Amino acid sequence: MVDLFRTRDHVADFDGYVSQFVTRSAATRATLRGQLDVAYGEGQDEKLDLFFPEGLSAPAPVHLVVHGGYWRMFAKADYSFIADTITQAGAIAAIMDYSLMPSVRMETIVDQVTRAASWLYEHAGEFGGDPARFSVSGHSAGAHLCAMLLEGKSPFRPNAGLLLSGVYDIEPLRQSFLQPLIGITEEEAARFSPLRLSLEKIEDVRILVGDGETEPFHTQAASLAHKLGTTPVQISGNHMSVVLDLGDASSPAGRHLWSMCSRL
């Protein structure tokens, strides 16, 4: 049986893309002015990296990046390269870590993302940010976690968001390769699936999906876009290449990220 959620089966050279994440992120950390491992909470995994645009002389927009990896892999250091586009747009990039399943449950991760966003909002003035201009982006599981910030009960809501290749109903994952690895429960699927929740609309929400992605990503993007009163945007790429494009302001995904950050 074909598992439409197992990315490795549908993306040629999956490991090559992962290597590019690491290499390009190292280059970003070597060139951009940054402040690494800033604590947004007391937990070992509750840290984020800040990257700043050149010539910052006035309070700048703040953009939070939430990485993907099906809630079980990757780290902020693998996604530093996305800061290239964000800082080119004149915004401060904040790329966060969170604890990984199955060591913690979904509730913990959702709470960590909310607290990271709240910390950035409350402390923006300390590192040159403007809390009134706050946006988020995420890929795959990261897009899911960003969408949870739009949940009606969320104590923090961004001004704008870019959701790339996300999973917004996690119930189908209980029948996927992931289930033996992280054991999503029926209760978690009900509590933490944005498509099953009451969401608050925001002015600028961009829901992107690669044209080379499997069917569930297209279906769920369309469903979330309908729920939020917008239209999904199909861009060129597979589930891994579209992430790399976020770090290239000239690519379709990168242009969306650049324009969202620059217009705040």
pLDDT at 94: 98
Does some domain include residue 163? yes
pTM of this structure: 0.97
Does some domain include residue 236? yes
Q: What is the DSSP code string of 68-134?
A: -STTTS--GGGSGGGHHHHHHTT-EEEEE----TTTS-HHHHHHHHHHHHHHHHHHGGGGTEEEEEE
b/e per residue 83-92 (b: at least 16 CB within 10 A): bbbbbbbbbb
pLDDT at 155: 85
pLDDT at 181: 98
pLDDT at 90: 97
pLDDT at 57: 87
Q: Domain range spanning residue 200?
A: 7-263
Does some domain include residue 30? yes
Number of domains the chain is built from: 1
Distance CA 121, CA 165 (A): 26
pLDDT at 45: 98
Does some domain include residue 2? no
List residues bridging with 135 in a β-sheet.
Answer: 63, 160
Does some domain include residue 82? yes
Domain containing 177 — which CATH number? 3.40.50.1820
pLDDT at 154: 85
The two counts, helices (H) then strands (E), for the chain are: 9, 8
pLDDT at 137: 98
Other residues' Cβ atoms within 10 Å of the Cβ of residue 98: 29
Does some domain include residue 1? no
pLDDT at 1: 79
Other residues' Cβ atoms within 10 Å of the Cβ of residue 164: 30
Averaged over successive runs of 10 residues, the pLDDT of the chain (264 residues) comes to 95 97 98 98 98 94 98 98 98 98 98 97 96 97 98 90 98 98 98 97 96 98 97 98 98 98 91
Which is nearest to 129 in space by CA: 70, 52, 204? 52
List residues bridging with 187 in a β-sheet.
Answer: none
pLDDT at 153: 83
H or E element, residue 64: strand 60-66
Does some domain include residue 62? yes
